[in-house]
Structure 1
């Protein structure tokens, strides 16, 4: 059996992507142009059931511009999970608004609707849940809370390309949604993000904000940013978009193998009617998680990741006295195993063997 290191993530870039980039380079039209427009249209059709898509230069830019386009600003509060990457809270803070941290439930690792409701104040303008690890958040319950209190829903779908709830794609539930196209995501454009919206006014403001506030050159309508995607990145994304469906099925098959064979750890659950796309396959190791991860790597050559060891409400820019016990429990016990499409059957069996032996030794 091979003892080559099994990485926790592995971007897949092939000849098709290289040829697509070469074709753009040959045109000399490198900045935002026809490739970006085509990528937006194709992303809309493949992953958003036709909802408008606006390409930007990163996922964080997508969240930031989405919030600005939705009218979020100083004095506002947006409820977010603390158990997520800091970009979620950063994007709220960058608008001048305040991120308010709610707790999660331990089964889905996504926002607990009851905790969200307890955080709502007169200053709350929105809720920004995360479809964490590729599992959708509690869509019906969160939307119901938002509707009852007259606040908006913004989807952080950075890790959830193609995930769905009762057949409806994520990215189609909120005023806007953001998909990351970072190299380790389920598909990539090299770097970039895609923002979806069903609101024409939000879409137009997104397009203005990403391009210095102008639709026509030199006719600036508002203060904007340079957050454009290049044709080069869009060309990569267009190729990846043709492959992400098959890659997702492989991720789901790999996850099913783990579900059937792992023992001694808490495997991820999937809610009824929810389609999980397994950006991460995240187990819980209630005791000795860090030692477990170290042994996986050193003794078995199996990489893993801890997403996320420090909750946002304990990070220096956001430090609060919030009591978020489930968030703390998750941060101390989660461990993401390799689930990417490049794994061989031997890799899958080796991961199972390693996890089961370590779990048994620690029991």
Structure 2
């Protein structure tokens, strides 16, 4: 433990007093307004307007209209894919539901890590599966193929699908999960909600969210990518009432189509993506340089663009650290506040012991990470974290 680490936390608001015993004086340099933990910034109206004008001209607002098709093409090109290897849908959760329903249509258990956002097991449930919670690897912050193989030995019933999750935009080893499916015969759907920049597509469908809080955000949308073009075609069919190339339903589907106005925002977001991407990475690098000796970041943090700065530390709980930082005017958030098996919505679902998931939930905290976060604000947060953890006391 760092000198003064535990004691520093117990001092509470005295940490921030401008003078007196135990005060750091940090508040003398406090920004004029509190620093929000998350404040999404979509492209401005001026950047979107030229795409809106095209919608006005075409009078096409949905049903795979021109801007949706252009967005699909540009997203595919960004990942080195053919247009037939990527589908765009109305939300990331809808994308998970469609992929799971397609690959595991007969129900059964869906293996999911207990430490994830509630959308993951929720999508499994709505796809007709029963979430089965398993633990994560401490270093990977995620369910790994090796852990999944081990968990299968204790499965309480037939396992119809596995959903590994990218923790806060970290890369997912897609080839290893393809090998897992080949070896076990169990379909894999990858929840890569925040991992657009880090994603290396494989055969297993990977689902990315384009929610406003993501590094590449459009408001609300989802993407499914896979090198298996036939699978993507089926996702698009199921997301269009089962219609594909005719007005006759080939399968029972839902309405998961993306609206043309949302695609307009997406195209404007792609126009500014190179600049925005570098800004996200610059912010992450400054955080890593400032507190990387005190906290642990998700694997690959600052190597790819992510819209969150999530940290774990061995000295305080997320609740304690968050309380101290909030007192200094710094917004924080426990993005995945509890392991999912602790949520009332999933009480009674089958699960294996998940000590690493519970540890991660208790020790993980989101720090401010916004597109327009200034260097001064990051440095202020860095100084505050160092004071709370006792490094500079």
TM-score, normalised by the number of residues in structure 1: 0.89
Task: Pick one of 229, 235, 241 that aligns with 1:200.
Answer: 229
Cα-to-partner distance string for 1:310-362 (whole Å, 9 max, x where unaligned):
21122223224531000000000100112333111111111111111122189
The CA deviation string for residues 55-98 of structure 1, in whole angstroms up to 9 with x for no partner, is 1111100100111222x133332221111111111111112122
**Aligned residue in 2 for 1:126:** 161
Cα deviation, 1:107-160, whole Å, max 9, x if unaligned, reads 331114333112225722332111111112344554443332222321111100
Task: Tell me, in whole angstroms, the C-alpha distance in 2 between the residues paired with 1:271 and 1:187.
Answer: 18
1:154 aligns with 2:184: no
Unaligned runs of 5+ in 1: 164-168
User: Offset of 1:187 from its aligned partner?
Assistant: 1.3
SS of 2:320's partner is: helix
Q: In the alignment, which residue of structure 2 is the partner of 1:306?
A: 334
Separation in 2 of the partners of 1:315 and 1:185?
A: 24
2:100 corresponds in structure 1 to 67
Taking a change above 3 Å as real, the CA distance of residues 230 and 358 of structure 1, as seen in their structure-2 partners, is same
d(CA) in 2 for partners of 1:357 and 1:27? 57
Distance 1:269 1:91, change over 3 A: closer
Does residue 20 of structure 1 match 2:48?
A: no
2:124 corresponds to 1:92: yes
Instruction: Determine whether 1:30 maps to 2:61.
Output: yes
Instruction: Give the match's secondary structure for 1:349.
Output: helix
Q: Relative contact order (C-alpha < 8 Å, sep 6+): which is higher? A: 2
Which stretch of structure 1 is more off in the superposition, 9-18 or 141-150? Answer: 141-150
Contact 2:162 2:186 in 1 (8 A): yes
Give matches, 1:1-363, under 5 Å.
1=29, 2-13=31-42, 14=44, 15-25=46-56, 27-32=58-63, 33-50=65-82, 52-70=85-103, 72-120=104-152, 121=155, 123-139=158-174, 141-163=176-198, 169-170=199-200, 172-216=201-245, 218-262=247-291, 265-268=294-297, 270=299, 275-286=303-314, 287-299=316-328, 301-319=329-347, 320=349, 322-360=352-390
Gaps of 5+ in 2: 1-28
How many corresponding residue pairs? 354
Larger radius of gyration: 2
SS at structure 1 position matched to 2:280: helix
Residue equivalent to 1:166: none
Question: Are residues 22 and 347 of structure 1, via their aligned partners in 2, closer, same or farther at CA, if it must alter by over 3 Å?
Answer: farther
2: CA distance, partners of 1:97 / 1:184: 28
The CA deviation string for residues 245-271 of structure 1, in whole angstroms up to 9 with x for no partner, is: 332322222222222211774221536
- TM-score, with length taken from structure 2: 0.82
Distance 2:388 2:365 in 1: 13
The 1:263/1:276 distance shift into structure 2, 3 A limit, reads: closer
- Provide the secondary structure at the position in 1 that maps to 2:189: strand
CA distance in structure 2 between the partners assigned to 1:218 and 1:141 by the alignment: 39
